[in-house]
Each structure stands twice: as structure tokens, then as C-alpha cells.
Structure 1
Amino acid sequence: MNREAMRRMRTPCPLALIGAEVGEGASDAGCKWGAQALRERGLAAHLHRAGRQAHWAGWVQAPGARDAAGRLRAVERFNAELAQRVLAEAQSGALPVVVGGDHSCAVGTWSAIAEHWRPQGDIGLVWVDAHLDAHTPASSPSGAPHGMPVAALLGHGTPGLTSLGGWAGKLQPDHLVILGARSFEAGELALLTSLGVRVMYMPEVAQRGFAACLAEAVAQVRRHTVAWGLSFDLDALDPADAPGTGTPVAAGIRLADAMGALRACAADPACAALEVVEYNPRHDSDGRTAQAAFDLLAAMTEPGPVADPPREAGRTCLA
């Protein structure tokens, strides 16, 4: 390896795996036990074998609830606690990796990352999902909070989700890109359209290729931000590769394409956190989806050379 290549290698941050035990945000609550199932299958050991220092840094569990109002309150309380856990790990110099759990946990994850970087500037986020997740309680047909995190992070919805940490608008619309969407309702589409959020729907991803779309998305969310992150809902994958989710949608991203494109995301010093969610062990009888989650996380966190970060970005654990 030449000197220039060695210079561009970064010492990887330790991975702080955080179990997000929440299913109250979803119609099918089985994903509440997704993180525990992945732990029991040996996720940390798998990442060690892939060359990363990884440990389970904590667990946050949502309180049980029965009716819609109770579920929303449970998700709000859960996200406030999750945000504190993620913020602590970010402040310690580790790379938070949130493992869920329904996608409502993203409110806590990215509120914490936005809070951590707030003194220096805005964060960006690439959101890979079969759904837009941009409902508010007023627009949602189901009232399920896991369909609301994008709207909440943009500052729209119930104050218990939008204003974690005492402030709203954790994401600016031009610092967010959604990839792979193919199932959504008019209300959430109208909100994102009005805000000008870039959405790469699945037909575009299929035509251009996931790698090209991801590269464009990362470039956009890195622009004019100090850090960025990736939130990956397993239902973005084609059900042939990942049947074990609560809301599978046909004609999705193929696992091999995702793994190839996502390699070494965490090696970028401007990458502030990762999130993989919606693993539902109830629907994964053959372990195929668990293996997909393992493979995706190993690819995302693979050490490797990356381009120099933007001048204003970076983490404390650079070589």
C-alpha cells in the first residue's frame, strides 16, 4: 500500500451497538424483539470476525401499551430514553449503531445525533425504506408511530416526538434523501413534496442502480452539513432476501446490491451513526433476514480507505 493510501485509512471507531426494543410503533409488534434475537444469534461476534471492534452498549425498552394513544405515549417516552443513550455513546467517541425495533426509534437516534453536532452545524441523513414514514397523527390512516419518524425529525407532528431535547427541526429538508420508497399514502407524500425532500422512488433506484442512487444521496446529505448518518429499514430489501419484517413490500432492493454499495460507510469520518431496523423474528423462520442484517452491518462498518471528509466534518477517532 502506498503512502497516500495509508494516509487515507482511518482508524475505525468502536461500534456501540444499542438495542432498540420497541414494537409499540408498529401494527405488528414482533420487531420489538428483533435486537435481542440478533444479539442471541451473535451479531457482535459476527462484526468482530469482520474486523470491527463492537460491543452491546445498552438496551432501551418501550413500555407496553394497548390503545393508539397509549402506543404513541410509549413511543415518545421510549425515544426520549433512547436519545439519551445514543447521545452518551456519541459523546464517548464511539460510533452508535442502533438495532431495532420498529422505525419509530429513528426519532431518538437522529435527535441525539443532531443534538451532539448542533454546536457545529446541521446533520444529514440517508433514509433507505420501502415507505416514506412521513405521516403526522393527523394524516396517518393507521395512527402507527413507525410511519411518522421522518415527519417528526423534520419538525412536523406531536411535540413529544418533534421536540426531543427541547427543540424541533432536527433535519433540514435538503439534508435528507429517501431511497427505495414504493408504498406510501397521499398525506405523507404531500408533506415531503411541499418541503422539497428528495425521494428516489424504487423505479428510479431499479433503473439507475442502488449504488448510483446511494452515491448521489450521500453527496447531497454531506453537502453543507457537519456529519451524516444512514437509517436502513430492512423492508427496503426485496422480500426474497428479507422476508422477516412486519411490512414487506415486493420488488425491493436486492441484498447483494445493497451490500456492495454500502461497503465502508462508517469509514467515512463524517459518518456519525448507523441504524438498521424492523427486523421481525416472528416472520424469519429460516433466519434469512437475520443473516441479511448481519451482512448489511458488516458491509456498512467495513474498514477501508475513504475520500477526505469535508473541512468542517469529522469524528474524534481518526488515525
Structure 2
Amino acid sequence: MGNHRDIALISVSIDLGAGRRGVDMGPSALRIAGISREIEAMGHSVTELGTLTAGGLETTEAGESELRFLDEVAHVAEGTHALVGQSLDRGCTPLVLGGDHSLSIGSVAAVADHYRPQEASIGVIWVDAHADMNRPHTSPSGNIHGMSLAVLLGHGEPRLTRGRASVRAENTSVLGARSLDAGEKRLIRELGVRVFTMSEIDERGVAPCMDEALERANAGTAGFHLSFDLDALDPRIAPGVGTPVRGGLTYREGHLVCEKASRSGTLVSLELVELNPVLDDRNQTAQLGVGLVASALGATIL
């Protein structure tokens, strides 16, 4: 079942970074699907570290159209950063439940900041239908969840980047991409982030692509963060997501990505984001999410 881990569970209820409402209820749906029970049944221990809740859409100032809800997104990212940092200081593996992908601006930066005093860096594997590499001037929507990876690479709104990159492009991969904007394509090429599109995964298979992503993530780093956006999966198996795009990873491909992350032995933190129970069918996407987390934490078929 994999080695025992102390898991620190962090819930981030935010949907202000997204265009469609509902992903703020993702953490509750994962709890209803029995995430703590599943992790404990594997022999890990679970500590509830806290829940961050963003202001409601109705009562929160939207601000600039290029950076919608910047103040609140930045505030939630800071809170997420603090909780993830706390869990690492305690020797726990942070598991962040979202919430829209803007929360990664806080979570990934916290992991990077934790290792920085040891003069170590981290890698990132971003499993997502989107690259989330827009900047304010390239974003068609102004939704910050589509900018989070660019921010972590040091590009975009200075209030979010805090003047530095959390991860290096050579240690960063996006897996499962199939919906990219023109400005994102330019930045991907400019920075040299490795993007494994669905057509490459179709052609080569998910296993060699994930192996390559792991190699990049672990090259000279202290380990890697797995950021799993449930919209990477095909909407036929995962209908309850923030921004569904047809033609995604299958059930088994999603599990293989997580199983390989676990087997690498270098997974230092993970998050599951963009679960939208409003669009789900009898909580099936949340149940699938629980299974994926179990795989990433060492659950095996045999």
C-alpha cells in the first residue's frame, strides 16, 4: 500500500478565479465521497489543517476586468500558502482540495518556499486540459485560474508573482492539454515548458509521457508537486468540473498518472482542483477524485 504518510488535509473553497460558479463546493463533495476514510484505510494518518473560504461572488468586488477578483484571489492564495507551509513544517504531506486552480498560486509557492532555505527547488506536474499560462493581457476572460501556472513561473501580475518564480520551466510539465490560447502558446515556447497534449498522449501513450514529465520534475530538485485538475479527464467520466473539454484522459490513464507519481517516491505535495458538484452526476466525479488521490498516495491494484 505504499509507505505511511502523515497527510495534512487543506480545503480551499474558492470559485472566484473561475468563470463558472460551483467549484467552491468541491472540497465538501470530496469529503462526502469519503476522502479521509479512504486515506486512513490505506494506513496513512490524516490531520485536518483547516478550510479557507473566499468571499462570495455577490459580496466581493470584481475589480479590473483583466484580473477579476484579484484582491480576494491574492488573499486566498496567501492563506493557502500559510497552511501548506505549516503542514510541511510539521513533516506532513499537504493535500489541497479545491476550489479553482487559482489556489495553486499559494500552494505551489509555499512548497517552493519551504525548500528554498535548503537551496533546493521543486518540480511541477500540471495535469490539466488547459495550460493556465495566460497573463492579464493575453487572457480572453480575465479569470485568474487560467493564469496560475504563468504566475508560478514568474510571469504575470506582480501582486501574485511576488517578484519571483516558484518553479523553473525546465522542471515543469503540463499533461493532458487540449485547449490553449494564442498567448499561452507563445509563452510556452518562450519559456520551454513541456506540454504533453492529448494528441501526443494518443500517439505515444500516457506512460512514456508521464515518465518524461517525472524525469523533468525530478531533475536536480527536492521532489515535485502534482497539481491535478479534474478537467484533464474526459467529461464522460468526470462531468463535474469547472471547465469541461471533450476528449480527455480515460479513467485508467488518470489512475496511471497518479500511480506513477506515487511510485516515483518523490511526490512532496498534491492538490485536486476544479471539482464542480453543481455539474456532477450523483457525486461520481468526487468519487473518482478520491480514487485518484488514493492512487497518488500508494494504492495499487495488486
TM-score (norm 1): 0.88
Distance 2:5 2:35 in 1: 17
Asked if 1:43 is matched to 2:35, the reply is: yes
Cα shift at 1:264: 6.2
Q: How does 1:278-317 map to 2 (within 5 A)?
A: 278-302=274-298
Distance 2:295 2:113 in 1: 27
Q: Distance in 1 between matches of 2:96 and 2:270?
A: 6
| Alignment match of 2:203 (pick from 191, 201, 207) | 207
1:95-174 correspondence runs (5 A) = 95-120=93-118, 121-163=120-162, 167-174=163-170
Amino acid at match of 1:109: S
C-alpha distance in structure 2 between counterparts of 1:153 and 1:125, whole Å: 10
Q: SS of the residue aligned with 1:119?
A: helix
Residue among 88, 91, 103 paired with 2:89:
91
State the Cα deviation string for residues 94-129 of structure 1 (Å, max 9, x = none). Answer: 000111000011111100000000122111001110
Contact 1:12 1:267 in 2 (8 A): no
Deviations 1:133-181 (A, max 9, x none): 0011111010000000010001111122101xxx511111101011110
Amino acid at match of 1:282: V
- Give % identity: 38
How far the C-alpha of 1:216 sits from its partner, in A, is: 1.1
Report Cα offsets for 1:198-256 as digits up to 9, x if no partner: 11111001111112211110011100112211101000000111000121111100011
The one-letter amino acid of 1:39's match is R
Q: CA deviation at 1:55?
A: 3.3
- Corresponding residue of 1:308: none
Residue 185 of structure 2 corresponds to 189
For the Cα contact (< 8 Å) 2:74–2:160, is it kept in 1?
yes
Counterpart contact for 1:38–1:290, Cα < 8 Å: yes
Q: 2:49 aligns to what SS in structure 1?
A: strand
Is 1:249 equivalent to 2:245 in the alignment?
A: yes
Select 2:72's aligned residue among 50, 74, 77.
Answer: 74
Judge conservation of contact 2:133–2:150 (CA < 8 Å) in 1: yes
CA contact (8 A) 2:134 2:184 kept: yes
Displacement of 1:291 in angstroms is 1.2
Match of 1:4 in 2: none
Matches of 1:255 and 1:66, distance apart in 2: 39
Match of 2:6 in 1: 14
Shift of residue 184, structure 1, vs aligned partner: 1.3
Please give the TM-score of this superposition, normalised by the length of structure 2.
Answer: 0.92
User: Conserved in 2, the CA contact under 8 Å of 1:241 and 1:255?
Assistant: yes
Q: 1:55 is matched by which residue type in structure 2?
A: T
Letter in 2 for 1:146: H
Gaps of at least 5 residues in structure 1 are 1-8, 305-319
Offset of 1:267 from its aligned partner? Answer: 5.9
User: What residue identity is the alignment partner of 2:75?
Assistant: R
The SS at the match of 2:195 is strand
Distance 2:48 2:168 in 1: 31
- Please tell me whether the aligned partners of residues 239 and 248 of structure 1 are also in contact (alpha carbons under 8 angstroms): yes
Task: Call closer, same or farther: CA 1:48–1:241 in 2, change over 3 Å.
Answer: same
Instruction: Say what the alpha-carbon RMSD is for the aligned residues.
Output: 1.7
- Deviation string 1:29-73 (CA, Å, 9 cap, x unpaired) is 200111022123321012222333223221111223252536121
Runs of 5+ unmatched residues, structure 2: none
Q: Which amino acid aligns with 2:110?
A: A
Provide the aligned length of Structure 1 versus Structure 2: 293
8 Å CA contact retained: 2:240, 2:278: yes
Q: Give, in whole Å, the separation in 2 of the partners of 1:41 and 1:261.
A: 21
8 Å contact from structure 2 (residues 42, 299) kept in 1 = no
